[in-house]
Amino acid sequence: MRSLELARRNFKEVWRDPLSLGITIALPVVLLLIFQAFGEFEDIFKPTALTPGIALFGFVMLMFSSAMILSRDREDALFARLLTAPLSARDFIAAYSLPYVSVAIIQGVVLFVIGGFLGLEMNGSVLLVILVLFLMAVLYVGLGMILGSLLAVAPMSGAYAVVLLLTIFGGAWMDLEQIGGAFQSAGNALPFAHALDATRNIMIDGADLGAIGTDLLWVSAYTLAVVVLALVLFRRKMLE
């Protein structure tokens, strides 16, 4: 029950700032509208290929917001009082994560609806696309929990920039196969490229679960590792 109370408090923190929330949802849509205009020159900018990459960009914004709220709370007396409550690290992580996962779902729905009006195609299973993007939303929010557990507010922007660049160079709006070399190798070692390959293969080629199995394993493994690491780090903070 106490974890639900903390989750409700965090929901209110997220939803009480409509301007910030509106920017979080609207900015990916604006980027989609701008970048899709280049679709006649590069296939990567056509709505079907571009929308999953823009979705990941939106998740990066949520990662930053979730990290900031956790970091601010750690620096506040409120956090010390919260630690006296009979809550586990899992309870805390869930309470801080759920509000942002819910926003990620709204982000994704809005983005794909707008993409549909722009000509986005869905030749495969919508449920598979939802599964991959949901795992990535959890991964990004989990990264936010890790950063919020480790960093103060001041250096958070630098960490945000690093994850954003990794997402972009992971193929969000550039073709790793065309770049090749070390960039492609590095991108393929991270979950972002595998999530994008999976969603694009589903949407463009109608790939089924078997066809995206390897990419899905990469995404699932990274997501599990990030969540476990977030729990471990937060538990250590509780014991300090």
* 178 token code pair: 């065309």
pLDDT digit string (tens) for 76-100?
766 666 666 667 778 888 888 888 9
Q: Tell me the pLDDT band of 14, cut-offs 50, 70 and 90.
A: confident
Asked if residue 2 has pLDDT above 60, the reply is: no
Highest mean pLDDT among 35-49, 94-108, 164-178, 210-224: 210-224
Residues 19-56 as b/e (b if ≥16 CB within 10 A, e otherwise) read eeeeebbeebbebbeebbeebeeeebbbbbbbbbbbbb
Quick one: tokens of 64?
A: 């930053």
Confidence (pTM)? 0.92
Q: Report phi then psi at 87, rounded to 5.
A: -120, 145
Per-residue confidence (pLDDT) for residue 58, from 0 to 100: 94
CA 182 distance to own-chain centroid? 24
35-81 confidence digits (pLDDT tens): 999 988 888 899 999 999 999 999 999 999 899 988 888 777 666 66
Cα-based distances in Å from 233 to 73, 92, 155, 160 = 16, 12, 18, 19
pLDDT value for 54? 96
